[in-house]
Every structure is written in structure tokens, then in C-alpha cells.
Amino acid sequence: MTVLTASSTDTKKKHFQLIEKTYRSNTESDYTEKIEHFGKNFDYSSNSNYYWGDPKFSTLYGTPLYEAASPSQKLALNHLYWVGQYNHTANAEANTMLYNQITTGVFATVKGYENLCQELDFETFQERFHINTFQKIGYKTKIALLGKEALGNPIHKRSQKSIEPSWYEKLVPKSLQAKFATKWTSSTLPTMTDSVLRSFNKLAYGGGAKHYSRYLADRENAPIPTTTGGLAGYTASPAAFKFLSLNWGSSPFMACQYYSMRMVANMSLKAYEYQYHRRYRDLVKEGEFIPTPTAVSFYHLLDESFHTTMSQTIAQEVYKDFPKPTVYEKLLANAIVLRGQQAILGGLSGWLPATFRNDSSYMTPLYRLLQSPLFGMSSSEALHWMEKCLCQEHEGFHANLKHHQNLLSDFRRFFGRLDYLWADNREMRVMAAGGSIEKAIRSNSEAFAKFSTSLAKEKN
Ligand SMILES: [Fe+2]
Ligand SMILES: [Fe+2]
């Protein structure tokens, strides 16, 4: 068995020094204890009279309903935005914990990457504390603002949507699909067996992959680990993520490629987290009261800045240390980035700032929010406001377009440096095309018409 080893010239490379420094700085600073303390002691009533973030980062900001809302409703919308975004972040970080471990299991097969593995393990440890605190604050805030009924009904969670098999079909060559006599359709996908996926993976990586993740190898007799929720939940089904778990755990190139997707999560988080960080510093300067969630965001950003550095370094530099991608890996890597663009970044929300998906999958959550104790609307009132907020041009769309443009240029700078990507991915063409108010309103209007028709049918 050939064992890859980082050569002595490799270890002198800048990125080795950066990884070593990141690990040292992250373990020295580490704010998990502080974050855990905030979660344990959070009390909504002591924080309820303050804005937690910039008012521009409030649920429904810029919509006609936001203009008509009372000062106390506006405060609540600012709090609900934090809850919605960090509920989403908690899910995304749970996914990170899994994929950090799968990919660390690959890097551990290559000598010279011990620091990198230690840092990734440490990040996994930190995420556990982050997630706990986000959930604790979210739980108490939702109970206070929306009542017990809101539990199990996440405000910003999309409606259940059927799995689209098309991207899966694109990933796997037709000739190979036939080998397993399996048609990759929505009806068979959820029941596809783990053994079929494992057999396919062995074929794709030429038998026993030399760098097969130790984490996966230790679980060979258990179901393939997968994920739901977070950004991943918008991208593909849990079955599709089993397929990705195996691929990201099968070669150093694919393990590095995972970090380009983790970077999408890191940058999407920063698009709304940075303003909490700024607010915290302003409040300190002015000697004002600091709401607990604002402080949590501040310290979380400090922990996460190391994670972002790692995602960027692995995705842009470390992959060059390893053998170039095979045709299959290149195709898969491009399909993953393309799918990520479509699912996570390919639209523009009219009521959720810094959210770049159209609102077609958010009809039910918005309808429920409008009928919650916060607004107390009847069904017809709720539909009236939904139409105004989703299907007509307003300030909220324009404000979100600005966030979209900022993030688009950051992503272009990041993906532009990955030489194995197609131009559509390097230039983020799908995301760029999604930055259109006209398109968002058109798609919302179609979805709203369907939603109100199905609601009318339910009532009859
Ligand atoms: Fe985190
Ligand atoms: Fe993180």
C-alpha cells in the first residue's frame, strides 16, 4: 500500500504554518465555556426590551407588514430572526460535526497532517457547545413570543418538499446505474440500500480506497451516516447525503472538496452574524446593556473565525498537496457546487434578510407566524398580508438584494481560485442569476396561488 506523506518541502509550505498557528490560537482563545454559560443562564424577560441585532436583520424587515407593525412587534421580529437563523446554524453545525469526523478520518491516513486533524477535532468539540446554547435561547424565546404551539414548528423552516432526483442522476453515469439495476428515481431513492451505495463507492475508487476514512471504516456494519437539516437539508435528501458521506470519506481530494461546501456555510453565517459582532462592540463602547444573544453571536464569531480560516485553507491550498482529481471526482465536485448554488443561493427571499432562496417553500411558516399570538390574524388577513409581502415589490427585496450582491462577490473570490471547477461554478452563475427581484416575485406569485388554492380546498 502506498502511503501518502507530506514531504519536508510540503511541511514548510505556508499553509502548514497557518494550520499550526490556527490550532494554537483557537485552543488558546476558545470561547465555548463562555457560550455555554450564556445558554444556561438565559432568561428571555431580561433581554426582551432590547434589539439583539441591527433592525435591518429582522424577520419581515422592509415589507409593508413590518412598516405597519407596532414597536413591540418589531422587537419580537428582531428576536425571531435571531432564533430562526441560529436554529438553522445549529442544524448546519450538527452536519459539520459529522463531516469533520469523516474527513479527519481521511486526513489521518496521510502522514504530516496531525495538526490539521487536531484542529478539526477541536472544532467538532466546540460546535457541540455552540449548538446547545443556540437551542436553549431559541426554545425560551419561542415559548415567550409564540407560545408552546410554536415548538416543533420552526419559524424559518421550509415546508416538506419531495426529493428531486435529477442531480443524483447527473452524478452517476448511466452505465453504472445499470450495473446495479437501480433506477435513481424519487420513489426508489429513499429505500436504496446502503450496500448498493457502498458497492458503487468501491467501484468508483477502485476497490479498497487507500485513504478510506477511518471513521467510516469503524462503522462498516452500521448504516452509512447521513445528515438532515441546515443548509444540507435544502440541498439534497438524507439518501443523497449517504452517497456524499462515502465520497467525502474516500480520497484526500474529496475530503478537501467538502471544505469548499463548509465554506459556503461559514460565509452564509457571516452574512448575518457580523452585524451582531459590530453591535456588541458598539454597546461596549457606549457602556450600554448587552443582550445575551448579541454576546453569544459575538463570541461565536470569534470561535468561528478559526473554522473559516480552516475551510478556506483546506479548500484552496491543502487539496493541491494531493493527487489531482479523477474524472469522476471532478464531475462530482462540480455537481456538488452547482447543486449548492441552486439550492442554497439561487434565489432571493422577500421576508428573511440574508436568505437567498425564493419563498415558495416558506409559505406555511409565514402563514403560521401571522396566525400566531404575535399577530393574531385570521386566515384571510394572513393571506392578504402574505400576498403583499411576497408578491409585490417592496424595500425588503431591495435590502436583501444588497446582501446578495455582497455575498456573491465574496463567493466569486473564493470559488474563482479552485482550478478544477467549471466556469459556471467559478463565476457563481446560478447564484448571480438568482439575484433578481422580478424573478423572485414571479416565483412567489406562482407559489402563493398554489398555497391559497390548497388552503381553500382543505377548508371545503
Ligand atoms: Fe459554531
Ligand atoms: Fe464552525
pLDDT in tens, 229-282: 766 777 788 888 999 999 999 999 999 999 999 999 999 999 999 999 999 999
Burial readout 433-458 (b: 16 or more C-beta within 10 A, e: otherwise)? ebbbbeebbebbeebbeebbeeeeee
Position 30 in a domain: yes
* CA 37 vs CA 122, 142, 294, 368, 388: distances in Å: 19, 20, 14, 32, 42
Please tell me the number of the ligand nearest to residue 128's CA: 1
Residue 173's closest CA among 331, 334, 325? 331
Name the percent of the chain lying above pLDDT 90: 78
Tally of structural domains, the chain: 1
pLDDT at position 234: 75
CB 292 within 8 A of CB 42: yes
Please tell me the number of the ligand nearest to residue 305's CA: 2
| Cα 378 to ligand 1 centre (Å) | 38
**How many other C-beta atoms are found inside a 10 Å radius of the C-beta of residue 285?**
8
Confidence band of 8 (pLDDT split at 50, 70, 90): low
Position 279 in a domain: yes
pLDDT in tens, 393-433: 999 999 999 999 999 999 999 999 999 999 999 999 999 99
Position 412 in a domain: yes
Distance between CA atoms of residues 428 and 394, nearest Å = 26
pLDDT in tens, 72-127: 999 999 999 999 999 999 999 999 999 999 999 999 999 999 999 999 999 999 99
| Cα 199 to ligand 1 centre (Å) | 34
Position 3 in a domain: no
Position 1 in a domain: no
355 Cβ partners below 8 Å, 6+ apart? 156, 349, 400
Please tell me the number of the ligand nearest to residue 306's CA: 2
Please tell me the number of the ligand nearest to residue 300's CA: 1
Compute the CA torsion angle 423, 416, 309, 258 (nearest 10 deg): 10
| Cα 317 to ligand 2 centre (Å) | 19
Please tell me the number of the ligand nearest to residue 262's CA: 2
Position 79 in a domain: yes
**Residue 185 clears pLDDT 50, i.e. is over it:** no
| Cα 132 to ligand 2 centre (Å) | 13
Please tell me the number of the ligand nearest to residue 122's CA: 2
Helix axes 363-371, 379-390, angle to 10 degrees: 130
Position 352 in a domain: yes
CB 417 within 8 A of CB 316: yes
| Cα 93 to ligand 2 centre (Å) | 6
Q: What is the mean pLDDT of residues 177-206?
A: 63
Confidence band of 69 (pLDDT split at 50, 70, 90): very high
Q: What share of the chain is helix, strand, coil (3-state, %, to 5)?
A: 70, 0, 30
pLDDT in tens, 188-199: 444 457 889 998
pLDDT at position 312: 98
* Residue spans of alpha helices (H) in 147-228: 166-171, 174-179, 194-204, 214-217
| Cα 210 to ligand 2 centre (Å) | 28
| Cα 45 to ligand 1 centre (Å) | 25
| Cα 170 to ligand 2 centre (Å) | 30
Domain of residue 104, residue span: 8-459
| Cα 393 to ligand 2 centre (Å) | 35
pLDDT at position 156: 54
Confidence band of 333 (pLDDT split at 50, 70, 90): very high
| Cα 30 to ligand 2 centre (Å) | 12
| Cα 43 to ligand 1 centre (Å) | 21
Which three cell numbers mark 192? 436504496
